[in-house]
Amino acid sequence: MPRDPDDAARLKALRRDLAPDLARLERRMVLRGGLSLGALTLLSGCDLSTGSNGTLADRVLWAMSRANDRVQQWLFDPATLAPTYPASMIDSPFRFNAFYPPDNIPEIDEATWKLEVSGLVADKAPWTLAKLRALPQESQITRHICIEGWSQIGQWSGVPLRTLLERSGADLTAKFVGFKCADRYYGSLDMPSALHPQTILALDFAGQPLAPEYGYPLRVRVPTKLGFKSPKHIAAIFVTNDYPGGYWEDQGYNWFSGI
């Protein structure tokens, strides 16, 4: 089920309420285990867990991450393309990667699936797979770089996000494009990255319709950003000027995460 903003806010509040208890519990375990460098950071809340209004260290880390967003927005060149590779360099098998094990991959019924479009758009008509397939397609063989450090080369094809935004009459001067997913994941892009020619709504992976583990039926593919900025199983797109955050970003991953 796509997560609506109320749900997200409730979860965030819950996480905030639980944080002191978790920290206390952690502290008890840490003291039992003996003091260490890693423990020291947990003790004093230097791991982003207390939020942007938390301990001094966490406040500084969150503020630095926001400053790094601005630096990266400034560094981002809309005309610079991610390097592309020959088909011979495609990595196989390609990793399954999500915040849940493969058993929890959402099952999606093609017959009833629709991509909702909302927010600052003129035409809010939802898109079916057939309608998306009828749009001009773009194919790419690019490197997927995970925030964990590993990277793999894969082939994705689909509709440029710019095309979909234009066809939906989106306000292209808005700040953000947000995504809601069928697996409770959510995310957002800055508008310049959303309009980058290599940012696509991928329908195919390795020349086949997306397999469930790679985000069936539709995923975002942004080769100018770290992998977690490319949500899978997307169910809704919205255009907004209010910072939408993201599943990992709200926990502390850097929002812009450009590469």
Partner 1 sequence: MTIVPETPSRLVVIHPLVVRITHWINAVAVFCMLFSGWAIYNASPLFPFAFPKWATLGGWLGGALAWHFAAMWLFAFNGLAYLIYGLLARHFATTFLPLTPGAIWRDARAALRFRLVHRIGRYNAVQRLAYGVAIALGLLLVASGCALWKPVQWQALANLFGGYEWARRVHFAAMAGLGGFILLHLALVAIVPSTLLAMITGRARVTEETVR
- Give contact residues for partner 1 (rule: CB under 8 A): 36-39, 41-42, 46-49, 60-62, 64-65, 68, 75-77, 80-83, 143, 145-151, 223-224, 248, 251-254, 258-259
Identify the three-state secondary structure at position 239: strand
In the complex, least distance from residue 82 CB atom to partner 1, rounded to whole angstroms: 5
The residue among 163 and 254 lying less far from partner 1, judged by its C-beta, is 254
Crossing angle of helices 37-44/5-33, nearest 10°? Answer: 130
Residues in the chain: 259
CA 21, distance to chain mean position in Å, is 29
The residue among 83 and 136 lying less far from partner 1, judged by its C-beta, is 83
In the complex, least distance from residue 118 CB atom to partner 1, rounded to whole angstroms: 29
The residue among 224 and 230 lying less far from partner 1, judged by its C-beta, is 224
The residue among 61 and 236 lying less far from partner 1, judged by its C-beta, is 61
Q: Residue 26 burial by CB count (10 A; 0-12/13-18/19+): exposed, middle or buried?
A: middle
Tokens standing for 206? 């390795």
In the complex, least distance from residue 119 CB atom to partner 1, rounded to whole angstroms: 27
The residue among 170 and 226 lying less far from partner 1, judged by its C-beta, is 226
In the complex, least distance from residue 29 CB atom to partner 1, rounded to whole angstroms: 12
The residue among 78 and 207 lying less far from partner 1, judged by its C-beta, is 78
Spell out the alpha helix ranges (H) of the chain: 5-33, 37-44, 56-75, 129-133, 161-167, 191-194
Q: What share of the chain is helix, strand, coil (3-state, %, to 5)?
A: 35, 20, 45
Rounded to 10 degrees, the C-alpha dihedral 248/253/256/259 comes to -110
In the complex, least distance from residue 46 CB atom to partner 1, rounded to whole angstroms: 7
In the complex, least distance from residue 24 CB atom to partner 1, rounded to whole angstroms: 15
